[in-house]
Amino acid sequence: MNFKENTELATPILESQRIHLRPAKLSDFENIKSYRQDPENCRYIRSSEDDEHTYKIVEQLAKPWKLEHDFWNGLVICMVGSDDVVGEIVFKIEDWQNQRAEIGYRLNDSVAGKGICTEAAKLLITHLFTEIGFFKVVAKCDPRNTASYRVMEKLGFKREAFFKDHYLMGEEWTDQYDYGLLAVNW
């Protein structure tokens, strides 16, 4: 690892030809709310949120990164030429000693299916491996969320586990796929 545990880092701005990733601003609330409170968008992630919870997420996405166990750090996704948020990509340290991070992502349905999430994940994963020094990045999803695991597979993640009735979402027990990607394979 290139940093010590519990280090606070300035949140980077990451760019490609089509998108840029940046820290959130409080003024992004309405755009973030549009997908975080959409029941269909949240179907395989967790129940949709109320305004108070969504606002706390926006505040957290606006803060500097903390390399602290289980603290979600993230960036919002914007299209080049626009500062409007179309999604978010986040990571947390799953295991500091074993240099493992978990990533997650969400997109507004208006840009789904266009490779935006794959592009955002590629930017973040490159940063996690090269700048922070993680050994492995993992991602998890409900097996019914085919769009999510297709992103993982496009990026070279390998399915490492299937857990039956692994977590409770609302009133429903759901399964989980776990994927992993080693830095040496990136």
Query: At 94, which helix (H) or strand (E)?
Result: strand 85-95
Residue 3 lies in a domain: no
Region 71-94 average pLDDT: 96
Residue 5 lies in a domain: no
Counting the structural domains of the chain, the total is 1
Share of the chain above pLDDT 90, in %: 90
- Residue carrying the six token digits 């998108």: 19
Q: Which residues of 125-139 are buried (b: 16+ CB within 10 A; e: fewer)?
A: bebbbeebebebbbb
* Res 45 pLDDT > 90: no
- Residue carrying the six token digits 């840009």: 111
Residue 1 lies in a domain: no
Confidence of residue 39 (pLDDT cuts 50, 70, 90): confident
Q: Which domain holds residue 120?
A: 13-185
Would you say 174 and 166 are in contact if contact means Cβ atoms under 8 Å apart?
A: yes
AA letter at 146:
T
Closest CA to 186 of 129, 102, 124, 103: 129
Residue 94 lies in a domain: yes
User: What per-residue confidence (pLDDT) applies to 53?
Assistant: 93
Could you count the other beta carbons within 10 Å of the beta carbon of residue 167?
13
CB under 8 A, 24+ apart: contacts of 173-176? 174/44, 174/142, 174/144, 175/142, 175/143, 176/140, 176/141, 176/142, 176/143
* Res 47 pLDDT > 90: no
Residue 164 lies in a domain: yes
In whole angstroms, give the CA distance from residue 126 to residue 129: 5
Residue 4 lies in a domain: no
Residue 127 lies in a domain: yes
pLDDT digits (tens, 9 = 90+) for 115-158: 999 999 999 999 999 999 999 999 999 999 999 999 999 999 99
Query: At 164, which helix (H) or strand (E)?
Result: strand 158-169
CATH of the domain at 158: 3.40.630.30
- Residue carrying the six token digits 């968008």: 41
Residue 8 lies in a domain: no
